[in-house]
Amino acid sequence: MSESKINPEKVVFGAGAKTAEEVNTLINKSAQEGITQAEVDDIYKQWAKTYDQDTLLNSYSSTKPLAAARVLAEYIEDKSAPVLDLAAGTGIVGVELKELGFTNIDALDASQAMLDQATEKNVYKRLICDYMGPNTLDIKDNTYSGAVATGCFGEGHAKQDCFLEIIRVIKPGGTLVFQITNAKVSSTCLIGFDDTLNTHEDNNLWTLIKKELVSSSVGTGDYLRFVYRIK
């Protein structure tokens, strides 16, 4: 197997990637070890306008996010029920949710630049610019029948401290689907991830419905998918 000839320093956010390898480089740079939330915010400001076309090059935007949306649809029969697209970015998942019949979709993302791109897709009722974390969101208790999150856990991004707030805004009996790159579960920035999931179950906040490892050669590779029922 030949080594990459790409110099990461020369792969620039917002310039328009030319190959799948360049896209993978951008993805890795956006979540590199030690990166701060402020640095991530700046990255997405630069990347927002070319994000969709870039991630199509490595098939990311046509595979992993869409799979998460489809799984959520399996668990919510009433497609008029309100659902939340967590870390919605430019709205890739939102578009798929609409295609699946959902008509009452909100978006949450920490990047206003990404949400500006999502607005143009005309799939969301409400777009909320805020972080996924322990911070209190401007959302009432028990608002949503379901929520979905993909591609958002890691350095400078969401961590396991976001789950209590997500649980708060989902109705009892509602469904949460989230996906995380398998390698990231044991990364330094997510130490205690599995313990947090188990603690919330022990505390009767949710029930694990399904956990599966999904093989993927796209982007950052194999990923775990979790499906929880909120109590």
Is the same domain home to 156 and 216? yes
Is the same domain home to 50 and 122? no
Is the same domain home to 17 and 114? no
Is the same domain home to 34 and 68? no
Is the same domain home to 45 and 72? no
Among the candidates 16, 39, 57, a domain finishes at 57
**Residue 1 in domain:** no
Is the same domain home to 180 and 112? yes
CATH number for the domain spanning 113: value is 3.40.50.150
Is the same domain home to 46 and 81? no
Is the same domain home to 95 and 45? no
Among the candidates 32, 57, 82, a domain finishes at 57
C-alpha count within 13 angstroms, C-beta hemisphere, residue 186: 3
Is the same domain home to 50 and 112? no
Q: How far apart are CA 211 and CA 140, in angstroms?
A: 28
The reported pLDDT for the residue numbered 21 is: 75
**Residue 3 in domain:** no
**Residue 102 in domain:** yes
Q: Print pLDDT tens along the chain (231 aa).
A: 344 455 555 566 667 766 777 777 777 777 777 888 888 888 888 888 988 888 887 666 557 789 999 999 999 999 999 999 999 999 999 999 999 999 999 999 999 999 999 999 999 999 999 999 999 999 999 999 999 999 899 877 899 999 999 999 999 999 999 999 876 676 667 889 999 999 999 999 999 999 999 887 655 568 899 999 999
Q: How far apart are CA 52 and CA 95, in angstroms?
A: 12
Is the same domain home to 108 and 169? yes
**Residue 17 in domain:** yes
What backbone phi and psi angles, to 5 degrees, belong to 215? -75, 135
Q: Note the pTM of the prediction, 2 decimals.
A: 0.87
Structure token pair of residue 190: 């997510």
The reported pLDDT for the residue numbered 41 is: 87
Domain with 129, as residue range(s), is: 64-230
**Residue 2 in domain:** no
Tally of structural domains, the chain? 2
Is the same domain home to 110 and 185? yes
Is the same domain home to 53 and 73? no
Dihedral sign for Cα atoms in the order 220, 133, 156, 129? positive
User: Cα dist. 140→38, 165, 205, 222 in Å?
Assistant: 27, 11, 17, 35
